[in-house]
């Protein structure tokens, strides 16, 4: 995206587009958002590279940092992903997401898809029992 487009976006987001200082604040916030997006982009690329078997040394070389620095920087997002997997549906192992609601119980979790499937199975078994 061009910086002039970003500036237009910052102006549109500012509390008062006529106030240059309000635009500076909006530009700073937009800039922070872009940095987070850029970090997420690199996280995804590094995750794919690791899954494809790339070493931390090779990844560090591409990023111009040491193997230790690469591992330190990118192990955290992977750890977060592992936590998300621990919060997955106890039946189908799908992770929670904004689109997939999860019902939490004492011994585990069940996603909306599994609830629907269980509902179907229960209603079918009722049909068999009652003639
Ligand atoms: Zn499920």
Distance from residue 104's CA to the centre of ligand 1 (Å): 12
Domain map (residue ranges) of the chain: 1-86, 88-131
pLDDT (0 to 100) of residue 93: 85
Mean pLDDT of the chain: 86
* CB-based neighbours (< 5 A) of ligand 1, an ion: 89, 91-92, 111, 114
Distance from residue 106's CA to the centre of ligand 1 (Å): 16
Distance from residue 41's CA to the centre of ligand 1 (Å): 28
Q: What string of DSSP letters covers the chain?
A: --HHHHHHHHHHHSS-TT-HHHHHHHHHHHHHHHHHHHHHHHHHHHHHHHHTT--HHHHHHHHTS-HHHHHHHHHHHHHHHHHHHHTS-TTT-PPPBTTB-EEE-SS-EEEHHHHHHHHHHHHHHHHHH--
pLDDT (0 to 100) of residue 8: 92
For range 11-36, the mean pLDDT: 88
Distance from residue 105's CA to the centre of ligand 1 (Å): 13
Share of the chain above pLDDT 90, in %: 31
Whole-model pTM? 0.49
pLDDT of 76 > 70? The answer is no
């Amino acid at each position: 995206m061009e910086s002039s487009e970003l500036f237009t976006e910052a102006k549109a987001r500012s509390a008062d587009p006529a106030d240059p200082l309000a635009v500076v604040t909006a530009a700073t916030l937009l800039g922070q958002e872009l940095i987070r997006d850029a970090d997420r982009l690199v996280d995804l690329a590094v995750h794919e590279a690791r899954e494809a078997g790339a070493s931390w040394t090779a990844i560090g070389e591409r990023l111009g940092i040491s193997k230790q620095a690469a591992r330190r920087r990118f192990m955290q997002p992977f750890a977060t992903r592992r936590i998300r997997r621990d919060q997955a549906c106890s039946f189908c192992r799908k992770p929670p997401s904004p689109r997939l609601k999860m019902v939490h119980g004492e011994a585990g979790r069940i996603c909306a898809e599994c609830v629907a499937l269980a509902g179907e199975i229960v209603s079918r078994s009722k049909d068999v029992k009652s003639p």
